[in-house]
Amino acid sequence: MVKKVGVLTAGGDCPGLNAVIRGIVKTAEYAGVEVYGFLEGYKGLIENRYIKLDPRVTGGIISKGGTILGSNNKTNPFAIPVKNDKGEVDYEDKSFEIVERLKRDNYDCLIVIGGDGSLKSGRDFTRRGLNVIGVPKTIDNDVPHTDITFGFYTAVDVATEAIDRIKTTAESHGRVLLLEVMGRYAGWIALAAGIAGGADTILIPEIPYDLTKVAEKIRQRRALGKKHSIIVVAEGAKPVDGELMVKATVGDSPDAVRLGGAGDYVAREIEKLTGIEARNTTLGYLQRGGNTCAYDRILSTEYGSMAMKLAIEGKFNEMVTFTDGKITHVPLDEVAGKETKIGAASSNIKPVDLDGDWIETARRIGICLGD
């Protein structure tokens, strides 16, 4: 029987994290399972910093954004940087001693709530003999083998409201206004918010764009008496035969590339091509903060409850998924993808389905996708 379970939230913060934690704890309560939360993701796991989680701690957190456990996206337990005697940086694998300690402290399972990189690390811990259950977390909706990740629809709601707000300025001044949204290398947020907000053009990483096509769309609208245009740009969008817009490279993070600047670039080039004033707004972290929307609260609770159910049933080394309208699970090995090297970063992401309903709908209603 499972008696003691650890939980951590790793990677970037995300609406719904607290609701997942609450779902885990409330399900554990009725099964007599103790739950302990490691602080600041894998960093707290390495340093053995934790708190006991019970309904008194998780009461009232279902709507709150962020995570009461804290998070960290710069710590890889399989490659901890340390300076040697020569002042050079070496990397130590702390995973063996972590697994030994967790087993010594009678943990039956570790629930990892994270995105593709964090779940890849969770899978790698299974190779060290640890029982792990994964819960997919990202506003980007790019974790494979699940239809929807919690936090996605909260981000879409925020981005849609932003489109509604910039649209009135665009109409008042006859401008082209752009909104750059998050999503990394997948265009789910841009596509969903663009459709919901009534955007005229949506540029996503999966479809390299030709700005002459975008300029043509703007001219067509003006010919019909519509002097303003709204363009939604995913941060990972790039021009045909062009490169991603990289804002910075951070050396101390497993995900070293920081995207940024795609919206500003498109605005400058569109202004040159059309002679129409174009301005970009980068939404940034607003998409990840604040209260969690109702849909994500429900989905997060389902994810957390199912994760604990799997633990109680002894179904380890699985990731909880939402597939075809049902909460189910798949092996963590499938989520990690082809990258089998322990400690290596994950590159297994779920792109927008170019034959899917959202793309077809966008095209049918006349949205320009830059191709």
Task: Determine contact, residues 295/303, Cβ cutoff 8 Å.
Answer: no
Q: Is 93 a catalytic residue?
A: no
Angle at 196 between CA 234 and CA 278, to 5 degrees: 50
**Amino acid identity for residue 279 in this structure:** R
Angle at 366 between CA 360 and CA 371, to 5 degrees: 75
What is the DSSP code string of 283-301? -GGGGT-SPPPHHHHHHHH
Return the closest-CA partner of residue 185 out of 156, 208, 151, 163.
208
Tokens of 153: 């629809």
Of 124, 140, 142, 200, the active-site residue reads 140
Q: Residue 90, class by beta-carbon neighbours within 10 Å (0-12 exposed, 13-18 middle, 19+ buried)?
A: exposed
Task: Determine contact, residues 141/342, Cβ cutoff 8 Å.
Answer: no
Q: How many CA atoms lie within 13 A of 263 on its CB side?
A: 22
Return the closest-CA partner of residue 154 out of 350, 299, 326.
299
Tokens of 98: 């972590």
- Strand duo 176-181 + 278-282: pairing: parallel
Residues with a known catalytic role: 140
